[in-house]
Amino acid sequence: MNKSRPSSIYGPVDSWRLGKSLGVDVLCVDSICSFECVYCQLGKINRVTLDRDIFVTTEEILEDLAETNWKDADVITFSGSGEPTLAANLGDVISKLKTKTGKPIVILTNSTLLNLPEVRSELSMADKVFCKLDAWSDDVLRRVDRPHVGIDLESIVEGICLLRDEVDGFLAIQTMLLRAPCESDIQAFADLLNRIGPDEIQLNTPTRPIPPEYFPETRGNEVEYDQGFTQLKTISKTELESIRLAVSRLVGCTVVAR
């Protein structure tokens, strides 16, 4: 096994949405993403890219799996050290883990590569896909998610819509809220959500402190937080619940908040 990187398998960790979730990190040689979200719990994205590549081989991931208590997991979740769809072997890994474990597969994506037909085809093998959508304007997208050049809100929404049209599995939208949107922003957000037609909308606030550098231990939820970590100021639970109710009134699916 390559000892110069953390294991590509972590947990199982307790997830409020999924139960006992075994994490798969197809990127763990570094933090690698097409966003640099201001709230990213990884600390720092060292490689901001849109280029797909193989970072950890499928064989290495299966070797890592064999060293874990994967049988204790309710579900296998792809998230980890950045954007999982950047891994060119994502489809191969999903297929092998499905065959090996028989567990449901969940993918957390930031939605930036969904315009690629091969990415949508790979995601069609998952049981659930959670698509990040943090913005209702390009200005919010730039301030909150700080995307790789060339990514705009329309390309993200279009990609999610294509996935929605092509894939039968459960599709949720995950939105991280740092500030309370005004009434017209909530309407603009609801218009995007109605265009997509997800099965569920999950509203979150950033609760985890941010390390100063890439810190792979933050992939799970059992980190010892340090004094060098930053805690973002965000909206209260009461404000979050008001936003949840306002969005619920405008969309035709379940909206949950946490």
- 30 is a contact residue toward ligand SF4 (CB under 6 A): no
- Length of the chain as a residue count: 258
**Of residues 64-123, which lie at the interface with ligand SF4 (CB under 6 A)?**
82-83, 110
**Of residues 40-59, which lie at the interface with ligand SF4 (CB under 6 A)?**
40, 42, 45
- 133 is a contact residue toward ligand SF4 (CB under 6 A): no
Given a contact cutoff of 8 angstroms between Cβ atoms, the answer to whether 108 and 174 are in contact is yes
Q: Dihedrals φ, ψ of 245, to 5°? A: -65, -40
- 36 is a contact residue toward ligand SF4 (CB under 6 A): yes
- What lies within 8 Å, CB to CB, of 27 at 6+ separation is 55, 56, 80, 81, 82, 83, 84, 86, 87
The one among 37, 105, 126, 172 contacting ligand SF4 by CB under 6 A: 37
Q: What is the smallest separation between the CB atom of 164 and ligand SF4, expressed in angstroms? A: 19
Q: What is the smallest separation between the CB atom of 85 and ligand SF4, expressed in angstroms? A: 11
Residue 98 or 179 with smaller CB distance to ligand SF4: 179
With contacts defined by CB under 6 A, how many residues of the chain interact with ligand SF4?
Answer: 11
Residue 61 or 176 with smaller CB distance to ligand SF4: 176
∠ CA 147-208-88 to the nearest 5 degrees? 45
Q: Strand, coil or helix: what is 241?
A: helix
Q: What is the smallest separation between the CB atom of 151 and ligand SF4, expressed in angstroms? A: 11
- What lies within 8 Å, CB to CB, of 11 at 6+ separation is 20, 21, 22, 23, 68, 73, 220
**Of residues 236-255, which lie at the interface with ligand SF4 (CB under 6 A)?**
none
Residue 3: CB atoms within 10 A of its CB come to 5
Q: What is the smallest separation between the CB atom of 42 and ligand SF4, expressed in angstroms? A: 5
Tell the burial category of 86 from Cβ atoms under 10 Å away from its Cβ (0-12, 13-18, 19+).
buried
Residue 40 or 93 with smaller CB distance to ligand SF4: 40
Residue 73 or 156 with smaller CB distance to ligand SF4: 156
Chain residues in the site for ligand SF4 (CB under 6 A): 33, 35-37, 40, 42, 45, 82-83, 110, 132
